[in-house]
Structure 1
Amino acid sequence: MKTLAIVAALMTATPALAHEFGFAGILSNDNMEEMDEITLSVGKPIAEGPVTLKSGTGYELEIVADGTGELALEGPGFFRAIWINEIVINGLEIRPFGIESVEFDEAGTMEIEFIAIKPGRYFLRQPGSTGEGQRVEIVIQ
């Protein structure tokens, strides 16, 4: 009878021990970090790099366009290596299945909240550009 009581006590304690991130799991505030923002501006570097992320950690990426031109940011490999929780534009939340690129026709800010998943080396860049300043390397460990 004593053994049964011990097993029952362990079974009820196990779920609490299994969730080291808390009730929200990997989306809890304890597991979220902010990235340096990416700036889209004609003739200016988009970010300092390389950027190192940890797999399983949540991040908020802010992309700011200054309106100096119609500018985009692409990185299909990177966007496939993360799970996007939401994209926020002007207070509107979008919960996409996935993306390959984003584009700004005018000045604005976009926030992408995601979980880094697949380790590897990736990039975000302005499409059609060849300059190192128009590209940032992202490493997921």
Structure 2
Amino acid sequence: MKHGFKIALAFAGALAAAPSFAHDLGFAGLLSNTNMEELPEITLSVGKPLADGPLVLKSGSGYEIEITSDGSGELALEGPGFFRAIWVNEVVVNDLEIRPYGLESLEFDDEGTMEIEFIAIKPGNYFLRIPGSTGEGQRLDITIQ
């Protein structure tokens, strides 16, 4: 019985010495409201920049981003490296929730807005861009730290 008592005390001491997390994420874990951040909107429009500047995201944090097309042209957005570095929880289009296994690109045939909710996973430097474009404003650089 003495050995069991010593093991129990050692285990309790190890638990007490274990590091604590900076904040409790609650029942939803990574998808809780305390872990979600709304990002600036991306706008798809012929001849106009996608966004104001680069995005810096934190691995393990959740984000929501709206992507809006003004209908000035049939425009797509690609970023296979970025889409493979995140876990997509849902894509919302016209109040319809889509829960895809993954994404590689998006395309707007007409004006509209979609919202993507995701968790940043793999640190690195990525981009989203309009396919075939060469203008710097047609590309959004994204860093996951």
Question: Which structure has the larger Rg over C-alpha atoms?
Answer: 2
Please name the residue that 1:117 is paired with. 121
Percent identical among aligned pairs is 71
Task: Say whether residues 1:57 and 2:61 are aligned partners.
Answer: yes
- 1:8-45 Cα deviation digits (max 9, x unpaired): xx7xx99xx78821111010000000110000000000
Contact 1:72 1:126 in 2 (8 A): yes
Q: Which of 14, 20, 42 is the matching residue for 2:24?
A: 20
Unaligned stretches of 5+ residues in structure 1 = none
Any conservation in 2 of the 1:49–1:138 contact (CA below 8 Å)?
no
May I ask how many residue pairs the two structures share in their alignment? 133
**Which one-letter code corresponds to 2:115 in the other structure?**
E
Which residue is 2:93 aligned to? 89
Aligned-partner SS, 1:30? helix
Which residue, out of 111, 121, 143, partners 1:139?
143
1:136 aligned counterpart, secondary structure: strand
Q: How does 1:65-84 map to 2 (within 5 A)?
A: 65-84=69-88
TM-score, normalised with respect to structure 1: 0.88
The answer to whether the Cα contact below 8 Å between 1:84 and 1:114 also exists between their aligned partners in 2 is yes
Q: CA RMSD in A?
A: 2.1
List structure 1 runs of 4+ shifted beyond 2 angstroms: 17-20
Q: Deviations over 1:89-117 (max 9, x none)?
A: 00000000001000000000000000000
Residue by residue over 1:112-139, the C-alpha shift from the partner in whole angstroms, topping out at 9 and shown as x without a partner, is 0000000000000000000000001000
8 Å CA contact 1:71–1:126 kept in 2: the answer is yes
